[in-house]
Structure 1
């Protein structure tokens, strides 16, 4: 893929964000794009290839976001979080038969190389190429996965565990800092954390809501505000996910209550 990009434009700067998305996990790909995009300059082109439907009738698209970034990706839900939290200015459908690496037409299983990075490099080299791509989708819509919003019922905050801080095993929830403030939860308070998986209780305990992991002893649990200004749950210098066998997704419900 790097080689194809350099064939299009040898002077491009290319960076790898991650190769650690779990295979076929479109939701994780969508989340990581949203997590990353605002920390790169406007005009940056992102190529995202988590594509279990490669070779099927799913569309290939390029989008320009409201923040001025470009993303080239299969239209399979990988833009869900960007669409919800950043916004999409326009969408272009890529013709997989013509808008691709020359002489690659007989390959149907490596669109990352033959379609996505090729078109990403073309846009990065000359942004006007974006406007030359196929017509925008009729309603400017992209395929979206279900993203649940947190709810505060006046006593308890109800959320989900969106994703893990993979290397350290901390839980990243969809609960924003502002909702914790609305619930009267401040740094130094004790919170009751309950986690259910498919309505079965997986974890419940009290912990400190602190600034960082160092607010508790090694091996103790702590709630904190992560880099996306949302509630994280961790064990200082251990993996919360591994210790308590906690996963991610809408079926992993979490509730927070001030004690």
Structure 2
């Protein structure tokens, strides 16, 4: 174990992330440290959870992840390390950050971080930078082999983890119902929670034209007919399309444009998407 992957909502405009690097390197200068992202929107636990899910399966066994999006820092919320069913480790506050991992990857074991052992020396009076003092220190020690997983602290039940509410996608007769889970931020594509398997169950094929309705708090924001394509090459410049994204979910995009900006689309349980087959089964 010498890979350490770090995610935060700290940004890179000050020295916070650099301090975490320094703590980790001080534990073991041979650690390989990588950034997942430091641009999670402030306090957005849901997005932190999703970005872990989006990334973790592409890393080898024994990789240690640190995720610090922690609006409850200094409170009585727990600090934990979990072992996934794929034998990777995540060091994080127990605040919902593990929601997508638990559902989609699986968690085999959870341990509370014992701060009497796993805390940066001489940091005991600081209660607002656990990313540096607890998570970077513990994650680095685990990745470097200075402690075993058992050495993190006492074991608790996986079912005791805090999990955020997730709206389930479904197929209701000929209509697929889901939500906008998250954005492909740089390009403005909408990533839904509708799995590709639901499209297959509905009998939808590439090239089919579908009616798409997006609502926010039951108010219609968008309605249009679009093609289900393999890639952006299956639509013309500026046209919308449905496609399968990199985590095998259905996504909505504009060819070389930002769908989110064009229609002011957000994310979360109140942003619902309905996709319905039309009588026009295949595009010409």
TM-score, normalization by structure 2: 0.89
Q: Give the Å deviation of 1:99.
A: 1.8
Within 1, Cα distance between the matches of 2:185 and 2:146? 34
Q: 1:32 aligns with which of 51, 56, 60?
A: 51
**Kept in 1: contact 2:108–2:158 (CA 8 A):** no
8 Å Cα contact 2:227-2:241 kept in structure 1: yes
**Which of 200, 214, 225 lines up with 1:206 in the alignment?**
225
Cα distance between partner residues in 2 of 1:223 and 1:233: 5
- Structure 1: distance between partners of 2:186 and 2:71: 24
Measured on the aligned residues, the alpha-carbon RMSD in Å equals 1.1
1:242 shift after superposition: 0.5
Structure 1 match to 2:266: 247
- Cα distance, 1:95 vs. partner? 2.6
1:1-259 aligned at under 5 Å gives the runs 1-126=20-145, 128-138=147-157, 140-259=159-278
Superposed CA deviations along residues 58-84 of structure 1, whole A, max 9, x for unmatched, are 110000000110000000000000001
Once residues 154 and 261 of structure 2 are traced to their aligned partners in structure 1, the CA distance between those partners, rounded to angstroms, is 46
How far residue 47 of structure 1 moved from its aligned partner, in angstroms, is: 0.2
Q: Extract unaligned runs of 5+ from structure 1.
A: none
Provide the secondary structure at the position in 1 that maps to 2:193: strand
| Bigger shift: residues 68-77 or 95-104 | 95-104
**Segments ≥4 residues shifted beyond 4 Å:** none
